[in-house]
Structures are given as structure tokens and as C-alpha cells.
Structure 1
Amino acid sequence: MIEINGWISLESSTDGEDKLTEEVILIINEIIESHNSFNQYFRILSINGNYVVQIALNHNHNLGYVEMVNDLINDICKLAKASYGIIYLRDDENEFDFNMFKILRIAKGQVSYENDKLISPCNPLIED
């Protein structure tokens, strides 16, 4: 099973002064809507004048979904360079990390992978 859940706060500058243009929001929305399908959704929410991308995906097998989400995040961060967020990823078919979540940390538009310590190892913390 592949499970990916998280959010990205869309930002154009780290000082909070510059807001994303409506044109950039529309482009990002087109990019993420092209990825919506069965068992996965991506959407932009406008909350108090700020924009947040929500990501939720759950499939039986990883058929390139991790790479697709990585590409999507990188595309978003090229347009919104100061974006930040957290995405949790679990691939129970990965021979090395099958029992843990990985965290994709987005900070200032850069993505890094971190090992989760809050709900990993999955067995015994969230599974028997």
C-alpha cells in the first residue's frame, strides 16, 4: 500500500509581504487538478487570504505515485518559491522502509526527506 497525506502552504516570499498572484494560483490549480483521479485528490483551499494545497493519496501499490508527488511538489515550488509544508509518505512495499513513514519537508520551496518519529515504526505504534 502507498499512502501520502499532507499540505503545502503556498507562499511567494519569506517575509510575507508579497502575495501570490491570481494567475499563479490558477496555474498551480491546473497542475494539481490534472492529478486528481480515483483514490487520490489534490486541491487548493483559500483560508483567510492564504492558499493551501491538500494532498491525499492511497493506492494498493506504488506505480510511480511517489515520483509523481515529488514532481508535483517541485512544480508547485518553482511557482511559489517560499512555500512550506509537511507530507507524510508510507510505502509498505519498500523493502527498507516498509514499517515507517517518511516526511517530505518543504521549507522555502526546497524539499527534503526526514524519518518520522511520531507514528513510526508503524508496528507497534499504529498497527499490531
Structure 2
Amino acid sequence: MFEFHGWIVLRYHTHDTSEVLQDEAYSKFMNYLKVVDTEGLSNIKRRNGLDSWVISGLHNHFSSYVLGIYEWVSENLPGSYGLLYIHDDEDVEDYNKFIVWKLTRGIISRETDSLLSPYIPVVEDEYDPNKID
């Protein structure tokens, strides 16, 4: 299972003061999303002068488009910031932990999760074939 939950505050620059430039950046992002988020897992809000985007989903297998959205934002809206939590039980090295991707100032960095990892036993019990639910 590939589980992902993320959010981004969308800003065209770290000194985000132009409504015109922000509207242009927002429009570019919306056009990009139409192409990559074919399942409609995104939710975007415009409130109080801020634009925010949220995605959450569960796929059978790893899907690169999710992190790809963060990469696109880092290149095109460098004032944006947010987090992406991923758990991929098919990842040979990291199957038992969440991976956190942090987006700030146009840079995406992989961070260690200390809140939901290790997945077993923090989130889920270890598999026991004798246990009857």
C-alpha cells in the first residue's frame, strides 16, 4: 500500500505581496494539476489572501506523481511551504516508517519522521496469523 498525505501553502515568492503575480502562479498551478491529478485527490482553497492545497490518498503501489507535484511547486512557486507524509510498505529499506518531505524556499528535503514511525508498532500491530478479529 502506498499511503500519502500532504499540504502546501502556495506562494509565488517568499516576499509574496503582488496579487497579480500570485493569481498568475495560482492559475499555472491549477493548469498543472489538471494534467497530473487525474484521480481528483487534490483540494485547493483560496482564503484570506492565501492559497492552500491538500492531497491525500491510498494507492496499491508507489505513484511518483505525488512527489512530482512538490517538485513542480518547488521550481515554479519557490515561496511555497508544506509537508508530505508517505508510507510505502513495498519500499525495501523504509517499509516500516513514514518518510516526510519538507518543502521550503524552493527546496525539497527528506526528513526523518518521529511521530508515526516505526509504522509497526506505533500505527499498526505486527501481523499475527493466529489472531482472530
Q: Which TM-score band (shorter chain)?
A: 0.7 to 0.9
**Structure 1 length as normaliser, TM-score?**
0.86
Q: In structure 1, give the amino acid aligned to 2:2.
A: I
Check conservation: 1:35, 1:42, Cα contact below 8 A.
no
Structure 1 residue aligned with 2:26: 25
What is residue 42 of structure 1 aligned with on the other side? 42
Q: CA deviation at 1:16?
A: 4.1
1:85 equivalent in structure 2:
82
Report which stretch shifted further, 97-106 or 5-14.
Answer: 5-14
SS at match of 2:43: strand
After superposition, what is the alpha-carbon deviation per residue over 1:86-115, rounded to whole angstroms, capped at 9, x for unaligned? 110010011111110000000112101111
Aligned alpha-carbon RMSD (Å)? 1.7
- Count residues in correspondence: 124
Structure 1 residues 121, 28: CA separation in 2 closer, same or farther (over 3 Å shift)?
same
Distance 1:85 1:105, change over 3 A: same
2 CA distance for matches of 1:25 and 1:122?
35
The sequence identity of aligned pairs, in percent, is 30
Distance 1:121 1:94 in 2: 14
Quote how far apart the aligned CAs of 1:41 are. 0.8
Match status 1:126 vs 2:127: no
Aligned to 2:107: 110
The structure number with the bigger radius of gyration is 2
Name the residue aligned to 1:55: 55
Gaps of 5+ in 1: none
- Whichever residue aligns with residue 42 of structure 2, its letter is F
Q: Which residue, 96, 106, 121 being the options, matches 2:93?
A: 96
Instruction: State the TM-score, normalized to the length of structure 2.
Output: 0.83
